[in-house]
């Protein structure tokens, strides 16, 4: 349990560091921090088996860290360095580690939903026993890919779990302005599959729901749609001043913040005290500091390799 806690800490500190590096102009392009959504990433990944597939989103650093990705190579990728997971070619939204089954983020909202569905289809046809987990946001649930993919997966009883991170906002658009029903999970009924709503800021609750969904997927009973209600404490991306929501709302969600809540659980269960809390925080900070050092000291990709690897 302490590992999950540390993973959440690394994820949080990593995202805060990335935001700082962007605002300082050290790294360029764009990035989408998942600050506040740590319990979903860590909770979901904590129940997966080796070899299971994950597809992530534009907001995917945390998913990768939670799945066991090396923060040094993730940071290097954000820096565009050759030591990054994609040799600097993918950046924040396109990094993967196929050996971990982590198939990468995606620059297109909802773009990975059919792809995760296809990995589950392949697993079923090849009878590998693997399952797929597909992360996406509330915004992506309005894309055609969501409907088409869940319909296929429901029809074919594919071993996949669709994890909707409902953080209330698709960029600036509140879910109430985009979705006419209270729960995205209710859409599962259209596909003949279970839809479950869970408090996405409660790591243990996420785990419990995911365990059931994974058992169902592995047993051949088919997919589940899990809606994790959460909140993105940061802006959508760099430069977002969050003018579309109130500071009161942000303060309210801070009281539900996932790391603080999980720490309270650990303390209550006697799994954490002030001393090892401090130690875990120190470790997490050191991991992020080392990631930045590694990224800064890594070389840029050689421009001579620009045209390599368009085709396999």
Residues at the site binding other proteins, with contacts judged by CB under 8 A:
53, 55, 84-90, 94-98, 103-104, 106-108, 111-123, 125-126, 130, 132, 144-145, 147-149, 151-152, 155, 309-312
Least distance CB 147 / other proteins (angstroms): 8
Two tokens, residue 17: 């560091």
Report the alpha-carbon angle 125-128-133, nearest 5: 90
CB of 13 to other proteins, least distance (A): 26
Of residues 152 and 197, the one with the C-beta less far from other proteins = 152
H or E element at residue 229: strand 224-229
| C-beta of 42 vs 152, nearer to other proteins | 152
Q: How far is the CB of 157 from other proteins (least distance, A)?
A: 12
Q: Which residues pair with 53 in a beta bridge?
A: 132
Distance CA 154, CA 177 (A): 28
Choice between 70 and 199, CB closer to other proteins: 70
Q: How many CB atoms lie within 10 A of CB 309?
A: 9
125 vs 251, beta carbon nearer other proteins: 125
SS3 199: strand
- Closest distance to other proteins from the beta carbon of 292 (Å): 21
Min. distance of Cβ 97 from other proteins in angstroms?
8
Nearest to 215 by CA among 300, 305, 131: 131
Rg of the chain over all Cα atoms, to the nearest angstrom: 19
- Would you say 102 or 231 has its CB closer to other proteins? 102
């Amino acid at each position: 349990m302490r590992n999950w806690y540390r993973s959440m800490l690394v994820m949080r500190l990593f995202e805060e560091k990335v935001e700082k590096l962007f605002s300082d102009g050290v790294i360029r392009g764009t990035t989408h921090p998942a600050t506040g959504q740590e319990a979903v990433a860590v909770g979901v990944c904590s129940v997966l088996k080796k070899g299971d597939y994950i597809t992530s989103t534009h907001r995917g650093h945390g998913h990768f860290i939670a799945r066991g990705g090396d923060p040094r190579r993730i940071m290097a990728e954000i820096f565009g360095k050759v030591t990054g997971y994609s040799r600097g070619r993918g950046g924040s939204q396109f990094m993967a580690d196929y050996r971990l089954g982590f198939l990468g983020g995606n620059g297109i909202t909802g773009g990975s939903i059919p792809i995760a569905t296809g990995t589950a289809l392949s697993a079923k046809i090849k009878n590998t026993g693997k399952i797929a987990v597909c992360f996406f946001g509330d915004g992506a649930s309005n894309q055609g890919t969501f409907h088409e993919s869940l319909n296929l997966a429901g029809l074919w009883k594919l071993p996949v779990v669709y994890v909707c991170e409902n953080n209330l906002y698709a960029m600036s658009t509140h879910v109430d302005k985009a979705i006419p029903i209270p729960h995205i999970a209710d859409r599962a009924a259209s596909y003949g599959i279970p839809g479950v709503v869970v408090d996405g800021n409660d790591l243990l609750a996420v785990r419990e729901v995911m365990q059931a969904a994974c058992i169902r997927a592995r047993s051949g009973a088919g997919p589940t749609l899990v809606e994790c209600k959460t909140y993105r404490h940061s802006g959508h991306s760099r430069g977002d001043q969050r003018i579309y929501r109130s500071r009161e709302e942000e303060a309210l969600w801070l009281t539900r913040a996932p790391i603080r809540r999980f720490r309270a659980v650990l303390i209550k269960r006697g799994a954490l005290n002030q001393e090892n809390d401090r130690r875990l925080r120190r470790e997490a900070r050191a991991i992020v500091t080392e990631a930045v050092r590694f990224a800064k000291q890594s070389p840029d990709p050689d421009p001579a390799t620009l045209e390599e690897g368009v085709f396999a």
